Amino acid sequence: MKTLNLSPLDPDFVQNPYAAYTRARAQGPVLFWQDYGMMAAFDAATVQALLRDRRLGRETPADQRKPTPDHMRDFYAVEDQSMLELEPPTHTRLRGLVLRAFTSRRIAGLAPEIEEIARALLADLPKGEAFDLIPAFCTQLPVRIIARLLGVPEDMWPDLLRWSNDMVAVYQIGRTRATEEAANTAAADFTAFLRRYVNERRQDPRDDLITQLIAAEEDGEKLSTDALIGTCILLLNAGHEATVHALGNGIACLLEKNTPASALAPDAINATVEEILRYDPPLHVFERFAYEDIELGDVMLEKGRKIALVLGAAGRDPALYDQPDVFDPTRPAKAHAAFGGGLHFCVGAPLARLEMQIALRALFDHAPNLQLAEAPRFANTYHFHKLERLMVTI
């Protein structure tokens, strides 16, 4: 089969992966990505189909499981409880319990709190000087909302953020022993912190997600404490990481493209957010195992092998989107893959969308003259696609 020699560490690729995706689609659309040591799908049709194909999954096949290294025991103790890494029937039970607590009504009810936090953060932004909008606004809003949602003290957000950043760093290309040790320490600290709150909520229920997860049950079966902790950590790590960088990428895009204010109007903001997620999503690769041989056109994905579903490339596929490299907030709605799909479709997608809709409108209402102070640069953190910083003036 055709191969792709492309380092995700290449500086040109880091700044603009989409040009490489276009070349890969023309070659493939399914190629063997040498640098990852696995097949990769770059077209929307294959990516969307495989996200929903039950012959693939996230859970490592039994014959490929390796002993957990001592320096990663706490990290994998959490990971092993994450529904993102599990398949039915365990995944079905866990996700069902989470959805009983993570309801659309509960998420919609957070809108006033998102608006309140956004106003407070915007009021503190410096005037008359350039500053980095990522830590000042994009980062704090989603992590504070997750803290409120879980029911842990909001002033703990710097610790939550540090733990989250250290843990998700293991999914980035070029991870090292130091990366792994930092992730393990973060997992141990995060677990100890949450275990205390879970034990407290068992004795003293509150109106928060931890209490609701404790109360949720399916067929008489409740979440174990370890599964509950793993679920809370997943909700924070996945929810915070995606929303922070979707916001950063989106704000940079709106400013670079001189997007008219009409794109942020109440009747247009939903479409604008969906176009941001299609055009420049924060997560570019989602890996799956094949549980049986699968024919992909003229190539075979063999049982036990992994395939990288390149979500970032799927959103720029001209077979699905007219002029895909043009940012167009008025584009007619079509499904995109920014939140994944199938059984593992992001459970926090409704919250991420709501946060982006509220945050973008609040920001540009507060700072109608918002401008870039320097050209945005992306960080060398593939397969996350995020900005190093976003220097602006208001």
The tokens for 354 are 């709501």
Handedness of CA 347, 239, 356, 103 (dihedral sign): positive
Convert 11-23 to b/e letters by CB count within 10 Å (16 or more is b). eebbeebbebbbe
Radius of gyration of the chain (CA): 21
Burial bucket for residue 379 (CB in 10 Å: 0-12, 13-18, 19+): middle
Residue 333 confidence (pLDDT): 86
Cβ atoms of 154 and 147 within 8 Å: the answer is yes
What is the pTM (predicted TM-score) of this model?
0.94
Residue 267 has pLDDT above 90, yes or no: yes
Residue 194 confidence (pLDDT): 94
* Nearest of 385, 324, 386 to residue 25 by alpha carbon: 324
CATH assignment of the domain containing 205: 1.10.630.10
Higher pLDDT, 94 or 388: 388
Residue 218 confidence (pLDDT): 63
Angle at which helices 111-123 and 349-366 cross, to 10°: 40
Q: How far is CA 263 from its chain centroid?
A: 24
Spatial distance between the Cα atoms of 346 and 338, rounded to a whole number of angstroms: 9
What would you measure as the largest C-alpha separation in the chain, in angstroms? 60
Residue 220 confidence (pLDDT): 75
3-class DSSP state of 8: coil
Q: How far is CA 162 from CA 73, 115, 128, 187, 366, in A?
A: 19, 24, 30, 11, 28
The residue behind tokens 């609040």 is 362
Residue type, 259: T
Residue 154 has pLDDT above 80, yes or no: yes
Percent composition of the chain: helix, strand, coil (DSSP 3-state, to 5)? 55, 10, 35
The tokens for 260 are 């008219």
Mean pLDDT in residue range 236-247: 88
Burial bucket for residue 64 (CB in 10 Å: 0-12, 13-18, 19+): exposed
Residue 142 has pLDDT above 90, yes or no: yes
* Cα distance between the two ends of the chain: 52
Residue 94 confidence (pLDDT): 86
Give the domain range for residue 273.
3-393
Mean pLDDT in residue range 331-338: 92
How many domains does the chain fold into? Answer: 1
Residue 155 confidence (pLDDT): 92
Q: How far is CA 139 from its chain centroid?
A: 13
Spatial distance between the Cα atoms of 221 and 230, rounded to a whole number of angstroms: 17
Segment among 41-45, 217-221, 379-383 with least mean pLDDT: 217-221
Mean pLDDT in residue range 189-214: 91
The tokens for 252 are 């940079």
What percent of the chain is predicted at pLDDT more than 90? 77
Q: Around Cβ 377, how many Cβ atoms within 10 Å?
A: 15
Segment among 99-108, 255-264, 319-328 with least mean pLDDT: 99-108
Q: How far is CA 147 from CA 140, 155, 161, 233, in A?
A: 11, 9, 10, 11
Residue 376 has pLDDT above 80, yes or no: yes
Spatial distance between the Cα atoms of 375 and 55, rounded to a whole number of angstroms: 43
What percent of the chain is predicted at pLDDT more than 70? 99
Phi, psi dihedral angles at 10 (to 5 degrees): -60, 125
Spatial distance between the Cα atoms of 348 and 72, rounded to a whole number of angstroms: 27
Confidence of residue 40 (pLDDT cuts 50, 70, 90): very high
The tokens for 153 are 């003290």
Residue 235 confidence (pLDDT): 87
Q: How far is CA 15 from CA 116, 275, 280, 308, 377, in A?
A: 34, 19, 12, 20, 7
Residue 219 confidence (pLDDT): 65
Residue partners of 169: CB distance under 8 A and separation at least 6: 175, 179, 182, 183
Mean pLDDT in residue range 16-28: 96
